[in-house]
Amino acid sequence: MNTSLSGHFSYGKLIRFVLPSVIMMVFTSIYGVVDGYFVSNYAGSSQFAAINLIMPFLQLLSALGFMIGAGGTALVSFYLGAGDAKRANNTFSLLTYTVIAFGLIFTVSGILGLGKVAALLGATENMLPYCVKYGRIVLAALVPFMLQNMFQSFMVAAGKPRLGLFVTVLSGITNMVLDYVLVGLIPLGVTGAALATALSQCVGGIIPLAYFLLPNKSLLRLGKVTFDGGSIIKACTNGSSEFVTNISMSVVSMLYNLQLIKYAGENGVSAYGVIMYVSFIFVAVFIGYSMGTAPIIGYNYGAGNVKELKSLLKKSLIIIVVAEISMFILGEILARPIAQIYVGYDPELMKLTLTAFGIYSASYLISGLNIFASAFFTALSNGRISAIISFSRTLVFQVLTVMVLPLILGIKGIWWATFTAELLAAIVSVFYIVRMKEYYNY
């Protein structure tokens, strides 16, 4: 079967193939970044802190889209590589309808419980109404957002990465323009930011849904399905690491915010928010690369092409290391300009953000390896190892370090927690890559 997933991938061809996925993830990350900039500069630090506080919960509800997208793409790519296009399309359709069903349930339950959740997360009396207002509007577009997360992976498997890139860029531009209008020009504060995000997510989710529903020239199309519980379970198992990653990141962010309120008050939450906005973009590069290579890895695994599998792993590790070093250098260079953009109006908050940024940047030297290692085993349909790496990295080590290090180093311990967690996770990643090389012959 001759598809864009077959053939030998040189460094140039590999980078060209994954570039749309990288750009897609970066533009997806821009949503929160742009919201944060306009709210911080035009509405003030309290509304800025409110968005940062409630955002992890909103991301938590959307995690299913990432899980089924990553796990389902590995499964569908395997079927395509094995020459079973009919089963690939049935699985793709079934997983899409599953995401829509669960998304509707999460939307209703999330909106109803948002006030109590915000209070549990430590929202002050001043922050609480902003948390609820922002969260309810964004949750109204949860189904399109989950579909957008899922289709980012499936667009690559369908052989249409450029179309996926176009949709994501259009979605990102929609968000930026509406933020400028609804927050910068019309002073709607968190309401305007939430509307901008929700409408841009509709663009990102509904356009690809329509594309796959209509006759198209890609490898995949939505249609009638034969229920296959085994495929749903397999996709969820394959993508369990991505699910764990997103759930864990949300839980850990909530924990960070609670610790920061304890040690530094609202300013601590705001400083962490600035770091997270930049981190979203930097880490998006690693996630995008891993997402872009996953269908190639899954296809060659399904086709039994061991030589190409070995080549892909070697090239990917080299590319990841170069990217990690570049991200660290950029983080150190851009710390002051970025902090100035977000919180330059507050000298005390600016100083806190600069200190935090300088320490946190060290984590970029390691995080790429861990993200790729988890995605690599997902693409090989080994959800167990992928989940172990992801669970260790994003939950176990993060919780351990953010709870223990502040007791020793004070607030600086919170900023060092992510680097320490990534370092411990890298040991787990390297262990499994070395241990499984004979089994998969890579």
For 300-314, write each residue's pLDDT tens digit: 888 888 899 999 999
Q: What are phi and psi of 230, to 5 degrees?
A: -65, -40
% pLDDT > 90, the chain: 36
pLDDT at residue 2, as a whole number = 40
pLDDT at residue 103, as a whole number = 92
Nearest one of 364, 338, 360, 363 to 414, comparing CA atoms: 360
pLDDT at residue 1, as a whole number = 38
For 202-243, write each residue's pLDDT tens digit: 999 999 999 999 988 888 889 898 888 888 888 888 777 667
- Helices 266-303/364-379 angle, 10° precision: 40
Q: Hey, how many other C-beta atoms are within 10 angstroms of the C-beta on 185?
A: 11
pTM of the model: 0.69
For 318-357, write each residue's pLDDT tens digit: 999 999 999 999 988 888 888 888 777 778 888 888 888 8
The answer to whether residues 66 and 239 touch, using CB atoms and an 8 Å cutoff, is: yes
pLDDT at residue 326, as a whole number = 94
pLDDT at residue 247, as a whole number = 78
Distance CA 130, CA 46 (A): 9
Q: Mean pLDDT of residues grouped by 10 in the chain (442 residues)?
A: 67 89 78 74 79 83 82 83 85 92 93 90 84 94 92 82 85 89 89 92 94 88 87 81 73 82 79 81 90 86 87 95 94 85 80 88 94 91 87 89 93 93 96 92 84
How many angstroms from the chain centroid is the CA of residue 156?
16
Distance CA 371, CA 280 (A): 13
CA distances from residue 97 to 94, 143, 179, 231, 372 in whole angstroms, order as listed? 5, 11, 31, 13, 28
Domain ranges of the chain: 11-440
Distance CA 86, CA 47 (A): 50
